């Protein structure tokens, strides 16, 4: 149960969002954990620092180099990620952000997650910086397709057009971030945000922490919703050591 201090802070955030012209939610695995997906690492995580059955670190197994050299091994662990989230539905946190977007034109999401749950919840202004695991692209001809799951895919799926190997449109370890998405993020940060809310992300990557740094420098409101300690915990104006679904729905103004 939320205590009196938390309720007061929630009211403050809600009031700020109600009058804000532009709001950004930066989300990580924590928001999808409420939908039943395992976090990447940590307690209950999909990979808890142990090597794979093949004896290689998971970062190597899920790398662009491994996809080229040993595609069957890379696809094995790509499948594990997809299977872990198969059938998952958006959490209350995802739905709260989507509801706010329907009433506020300039509400954006920057997410590290590849599960597509923000889009499934109804969000449209989403920068999925690491991609979407349900989107596939041919490594030979570039043909693209979407799938609802990997259940009926071959162990190494191939293109229906040219027979080339398919891959998910996600950023594997050792690969560069998509230029178009970085440019979109830079554009939106250049305009600026009145409120930035970090949700369930450790913010270890500079491009994920950067919105909070920039917004802090401008004197606008920064918020964190995360049960644990992150690199942004001591930087944000308001912090909730709570799960996303416990707090985000309460941020919605009365007209949402």
What is residue 36's predicted lDDT score, i.e. its pLDDT? 86
Tell me which DSSP letter residue 156 carries: S
Q: Give bridge partners of residue 110 from the DSSP assignment.
A: 26, 127
In a domain, 100, yes or no: yes
Report the domain count for the chain. Answer: 2
In a domain, 47, yes or no: no
Q: For residue range 114-153, what is the model confidence (pLDDT) as tens digits?
A: 999 999 999 999 999 999 999 999 999 999 999 999 999 9
Distance, CA of 4 to CA of 69 (rounded, Å): 56
CATH at 197: 3.40.50.1220
Distance, CA of 61 to CA of 69 (rounded, Å): 10
Domain stops at, among 114, 148, 170: 170
For residues 243 and 208, state if they share a domain.
yes
Can you give the C-alpha Rg of the chain in angstroms? 19
Q: Could you tell me which of 9, 31, 84 has the C-alpha nearest to residue 201?
A: 31
In a domain, 45, yes or no: no
Q: For residue range 45-60, what is the model confidence (pLDDT) as tens digits?
A: 456 567 888 999 989 9
Q: For residue range 69-127, what is the model confidence (pLDDT) as tens digits?
A: 999 999 999 999 999 889 899 999 999 999 999 988 899 999 999 999 999 999 999 99
Indicate the average pLDDT of the chain.
93
* Residue located via tokens 């946190």: 93
Q: For residue range 191-241, what is the model confidence (pLDDT) as tens digits?
A: 999 999 999 999 999 999 999 999 999 999 999 999 999 999 999 999 999
- Name every residue whose Cβ is closer than 8 Å to that of residue 231 and which is 6 or more positions away in sequence: 202, 203, 204, 209
Does residue 60 come out as left (phi exceeding 0), alpha (psi in the -120 to 50 range) or beta?
Answer: alpha
User: Using N-to-C axis directions, what is the helix angle for 179-191 and 206-217, rounded to 10°?
Assistant: 10
Residue 2 pLDDT greater than 90, yes or no = no
What is residue 51's predicted lDDT score, i.e. its pLDDT? 81
Q: Could you tell me which of 180, 185, 139 has the C-alpha nearest to residue 158?
A: 139
The single residue of 94, 118, 130, 187 carrying the catalytic annotation is: 130
Question: Residue 132 has which token pair?
Answer: 């979407």
Q: Could you tell me which of 160, 74, 84 has the C-alpha nearest to residue 115?
A: 84
Burial 84-103 (b: 16+ CB within 10 A, else e): ebeeeebbbbbbbbbbbbee
For residues 240 and 201, state if they share a domain.
yes
94 catalytic? Reply is: no
What is residue 43's predicted lDDT score, i.e. its pLDDT? 36
What is the band of 255 on the pLDDT scale with cuts at 50, 70, 90? confident
Distance, CA of 128 to CA of 89 (rounded, Å): 17
Full-model pTM: 0.93
* Terminal C-alpha separation, the chain: 23
Q: Residue 242 is part of which domain span?
A: 4-37+89-130+175-251
In a domain, 46, yes or no: no
For residues 114 and 207, state if they share a domain.
yes
For residues 73 and 95, state if they share a domain.
no
CATH at 80: 3.30.1600.10
In a domain, 52, yes or no: no
């Amino acid at each position: 149960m939320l205590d009196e201090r938390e309720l007061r802070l929630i009211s403050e955030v809600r009031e700020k969002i109600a009058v804000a012209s532009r709001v950004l939610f930066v989300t990580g695995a924590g928001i999808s954990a409420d939908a039943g997906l395992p976090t990447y690492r940590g307690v209950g995580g999909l990979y808890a620092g142990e090597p794979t059955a093949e004896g290689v670190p998971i970062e190597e197994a899920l790398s662009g180099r491994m996809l080229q050299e040993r595609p069957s091994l890379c696809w094995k662990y790509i499948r594990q990620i997809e299977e872990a989230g198969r059938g998952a539905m958006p959490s209350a946190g995802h739905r709260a952000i989507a509801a706010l977007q329907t009433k506020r034109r300039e509400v954006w999401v920057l997410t590290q997650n590849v599960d597509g749950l923000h889009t499934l919840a109804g969000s449209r202004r989403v920068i999925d910086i690491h991609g979407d695991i349900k989107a596939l692209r041919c490594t030979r001809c570039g043909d693209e397709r979407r799938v609802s799951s990997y259940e009926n895919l071959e162990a190494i799926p191939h293109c229906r057009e040219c027979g080339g190997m398919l891959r998910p449109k996600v950023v594997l370890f050792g690969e560069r971030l998509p230029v178009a998405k970085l440019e979109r993020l830079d554009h939106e940060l250049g305009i600026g945000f009145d409120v930035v809310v970090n949700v369930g992300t450790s913010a270890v990557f500079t491009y994920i922490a950067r919105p909070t740094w920039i917004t802090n420098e401008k004197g606008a409101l920064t918020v964190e919703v995360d049960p644990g300690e992150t690199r942004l915990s001591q930087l944000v104006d308001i912090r909730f050591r709570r799960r996303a679904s416990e707090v985000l729905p309460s941020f919605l103004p009365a007209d949402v």
